[in-house]
Amino acid sequence: MADTPRVIGVLTAGGDCPGLNAVIRAVTTRASSVNDAEVVGILNGWEGLMEGDTMPLDRDAVRGILTRGGTILGTSRMDPYVHGEGYKSVENTIRRNGIEALIVIGGDGTLRSALALAKEGLPVVGVPKTIDNDINGTDITFGFDTAVQIATDAIDRLASTAEAHNRVIVVEVMGRTKGWIAAYAGIAGGADSILIPERPYDLDEVAGIIRARHRHGKSYSIVVVAEGVEPPAGVEVELKKDAFGFARLGGVGYAIADHIETLTGFETRVSVLGHIQRGGSPTAFDRVLATRLGVAAADYALEGRTGVMAAVRSMEILPIPMEEACAEIRGVTPDIYDTAATFFS
């Protein structure tokens, strides 16, 4: 453990996620107005730490942001270990602002870099963030509940128009390497099939389910697809890259829909939900979770802990080693998929 820090930096990195502002508000309020520490907001994720872009944060600066989507600090996918030279690329900003501990709110890539910085000697505390819900060591990440609610609302609406027109609708949701949003929104929306990256799929089987539904009197079907699934065999989906070299996913649902239409003969449409799942106000559940994680992270930093992440275990918040969070990307558990698959008929 390090000494009690008087100046704490906070940054949000990677894709944004409903609840980020709730964490920033909680970290700032707990550290500054309760414990009298200074809080430095770092702008645009790691980029701000590399370039020296910061803003002061205090209780007044974070009033009114609890319910707002996005992040008042901005975010980016720049990374000091991918695009820079690790600690060397951030040490100027750390020194100039007198930052003695850093709270990093991010997904698996961000947390890996946070751990690397902790190993280089900077006291770092992590807060797991992603709508994808795929961070190891925590039961859930904030933002996931909001994304599932948005996707479920969309499925409900798509089901009614699918039924009116006797169509199959493929709903593509986010989920880069893991299919948590697809699985949960699929269960909540009563999907007839769910395709996730963790499990190989067979479109003949999906077509069989759809044909059977039609024989049994339901002439519409909803197929939920996570954006990160492999395209059907023989199909190439060309992916553009973002400014930091990461693949921009989205669109695999079109190739899957074409195959389903060919195999079943039923008109098949596609709806790609995309960034709507990440935008806007967090649900009450996510506001509470993000607030609890932010308060805990501030406490860990003020206690001089480093290399730990605030995690949720059986609804309790506790510090776990960041190594555990970075050990693997957490996939949908077999019991969840099995529950969903019970209704594929």
Read off the tokens for 15. 């894709």
Q: How many other C-beta atoms can be found within 10 angstroms of the C-beta atom of residue 254?
A: 18
Q: Quick one: 24 exposed, middle or buried, by C-beta within 10 A (0-12, 13-18, 19+)?
A: buried
Least Å distance, CB 107 to ligand F6P, is 6
Count of residues interacting with ligand F6P (CB under 6 A) = 13
For residue 143, state whether it binds ligand F6P (rule: CB under 6 A). Answer: no
Nearest 5°: CA angle at 59, between 77 and 32?
Answer: 85
Least Å distance, CB 253 to ligand F6P, is 13
Q: What share of residues in the chain are helix, strand, coil (percent, to 5)? A: 40, 20, 40
Q: Which stretch binds ligand F6P (CB under 6 A): 4-12, 129-137, 200-208, 321-329?
A: 129-137
| Run of H or E including 165 | helix 144-165
**259, 278, 287, 330: which one binds ligand F6P (CB under 6 A):** 278
Q: Which stretch binds ligand F6P (CB under 6 A): 65-73, 128-136, 154-162, 258-266?
A: 128-136
**120, 242, 316, 328: which one binds ligand F6P (CB under 6 A):** 242
Using alpha carbons, select from 301, 327, 302, 324 the residue that is nearest to residue 311.
324
**From edge to edge, which strands make up the β-sheet containing 193-195?**
193-195, 221-226, 168-173, 268-272
Q: How far apart are CA 121 and CA 210, in angstroms?
A: 56
- Applying the rule CB under 6 A, the residues between 162 and 201 that interact with ligand F6P are 174-176
- Applying the rule CB under 6 A, the residues between 2 and 31 that interact with ligand F6P are 15
Q: Which is nearer to ligand F6P, 210 or 326 (CB)?
A: 326
**β partners of residue 188:** none
**19, 41, 48, 107: which one binds ligand F6P (CB under 6 A):** 107
Nearest 5°: CA angle at 95, between 89 and 100?
Answer: 105
Q: Which is nearer to ligand F6P, 1 or 247 (CB)?
A: 247
What type of residue sits at position 46? W
Least Å distance, CB 141 to ligand F6P, is 10
For residue 320, state whether it binds ligand F6P (rule: CB under 6 A). Answer: no
Least Å distance, CB 297 to ligand F6P, is 20
**29, 71, 130, 152: which one binds ligand F6P (CB under 6 A):** 130
Q: Which is nearer to ligand F6P, 76 or 221 (CB)?
A: 76
For residue 131, state whether it binds ligand F6P (rule: CB under 6 A). Answer: yes
Least Å distance, CB 71 to ligand F6P, is 13
- Region of 248 please: left (phi>0), alpha (psi -120 to 50) or beta: beta
Q: How far apart are CA 169 and CA 189, in angstroms?
A: 13
Least Å distance, CB 268 to ligand F6P, is 23
Q: Which is nearer to ligand F6P, 174 or 296 (CB)?
A: 174
Using alpha carbons, select from 131, 123, 89 the residue that is nearest to residue 106.
131
Catalytic residues: 132
* Contact residues: ligand F6P, CB under 6 A: 15, 107, 130-132, 174-176, 227, 242, 248-249, 278
